[in-house]
Amino acid sequence: MKGEKKTAKPVGFWLSVLTFLVLIGLVVSMTAGLKTAPHVPLLMAAAFAAVVGAFHRFSWKEMMEGMTGAISTALPALLIIMSIGILIAAWMAGGVIPTMVYYGLQIISPRFFLVTALLLCSLVSLAIGSSLSTIGTVGVALFGIGSALGIPPAITAGAIVSGAYFGDKMSPLSDTTNLAPSVSDANVFDHIRHMMVTTTPTYLICIVIYGIIGFAYGGGTADTAQIEATLRILRETFVIHPLLLLPPLLVLVMVIFRIPALPGLMGAAVLGMLAAVLVQGASITEILQGIMNGFTASTGVEAVDTLLNRGGLLSMMKTVALAIVALSFAGVFECTGMASSILKKVVSHVKTERGLVIATILTAWGILLGTGQQYVAIIMAGRLFRPLYQEYNLKPQNLSRALEDAGTVFGGIVPYSTGAGFTEGMLGVSAWQYGPFTFFGWINPLVAILIAALGKSMPHLGQKEKGGT
């Protein structure tokens, strides 16, 4: 009838798959092939998805609402990312991170460095519940130590990211650790206990692998002259004192008292600024410029300058922009029905409990690869699969664990993800380089798939544990 309003029609399966493949093709070809940043290919993919949506009668307003809705879910994380940039610059100016590096170089053995980095980042991330905060603080210090010890940067970054994402997965303070059970209608502590089944063997395997690599690279081959030179330059450039270790310790105290991440990080940044004025003798102008543009030092030694010259609010803007662009694609992809079309096709092939869990893991993995966003992967896969877990009478922690086994731990490896962009900004190593050495992210989904294929650890409603199908 004339004048009748046209209604939007959800995008079908094959066109949805094509849109997804366009995304993957653009990102991989332009980031891996042309060595460009992922922002532009993600923006091009979002534009392609919007054109597809328009042909299916979705209005620009509807797609904008989808984009803004997706972006709004990440605003707390984006604020934390920006605050970490300020924190790093403040801790550099205050001599906090240089002090951590100085003492770390003297006590950490090259043979056990990678295992130590894994364990230390795991403990810190477990305590604070944030992989990004861990990478941006203790991770930066460990990266400097690893460089001085002669460990390849990509391998060091892989160990740091592995430990950081272990805590991101297992900490009750982590956003993803709370998001997954929330989507699944599971208790967060039941969720954490259930994740031990897949996480424990993964972690033990990682310890063995990093231990073997550590012996290969650190078996007495560390450049002692470089270490001594680094120690000397740090002493000459900064006031080194054990009291400067108080800010990171106070961060842990804040966590114990459940102070939210954002005010906790800003409080730690203020401590770094005070140390810069009172201990290092920096001026207010220098500090303000540093927290905006990043800390700068010119020691005459490139390796040391690379370690020290980092941080600042502006250094985080690339990561923030990456998250916004990736979430824009995700918002259009979901609101136009493309995500549902693909996922429903996947669900239609699920016939057994084992297949259900495996399909959940692979789907969360695929969504993460497609969007680069942990939140999107967990929420989209959780919404779709939750009714099936109820149909099979499986406890909700089965679903929440599957979501995290792939949707969380692989987040730091996807080159166009927020986590990868942040890590590259902090450590100067891209995901294409450190990704192969981030063993926790690769092994955990595979262990989870194996356990599911064996029919193990699938508790039903009314049962404590299911050992088989």
pLDDT tens digit string along 99-153? 877 887 777 777 888 998 998 888 878 766 678 878 877 788 788 888 878 788 9
C-alpha 403/C-alpha 183 separation (Å) is 10
Angle, CA 362 vertex, CA 356 and CA 366 arms, to 5° = 140
Can you say whether residue 211 is alpha, beta or left, with left for phi > 0 and alpha for psi between -120 and 50 degrees? alpha
**Backbone φ/ψ region at 188: left (φ over 0), alpha (ψ -120 to 50), beta:** alpha
CB burial string 319-343: b at 16+ within 10 A, e below: bbbbbbbbbbbbbbbbbbbbbbbbb
Smallest Cα–Cα separation from 260: which of 178, 356, 342? 178
Q: pLDDT at position 235, please?
A: 87
For 274-329, write each residue's pLDDT tens digit: 999 999 988 999 899 989 988 888 777 666 776 677 778 888 787 788 778 878 88
Domain boundaries, the chain: 75-316
Q: Which of 273, 245, 228, 222 is nearest to 98 (CA)?
A: 245
- The closest alpha carbon to 421, from 333, 332, 327, belongs to 327
Mean pLDDT rounded to a whole number for the chain: 82
CB-based contacts of 293-297 (< 8 A; 24+ apart in sequence):
294/85, 294/88, 294/89, 295/88, 295/89, 295/92, 295/93, 297/92, 297/237
* Residue 398 in tokens: 């089965």
Parts of the chain with a pLDDT under 70: 1-6, 32, 127-129, 173, 218-227, 251-252, 254-256, 258, 261, 301-303, 306-307, 463-469
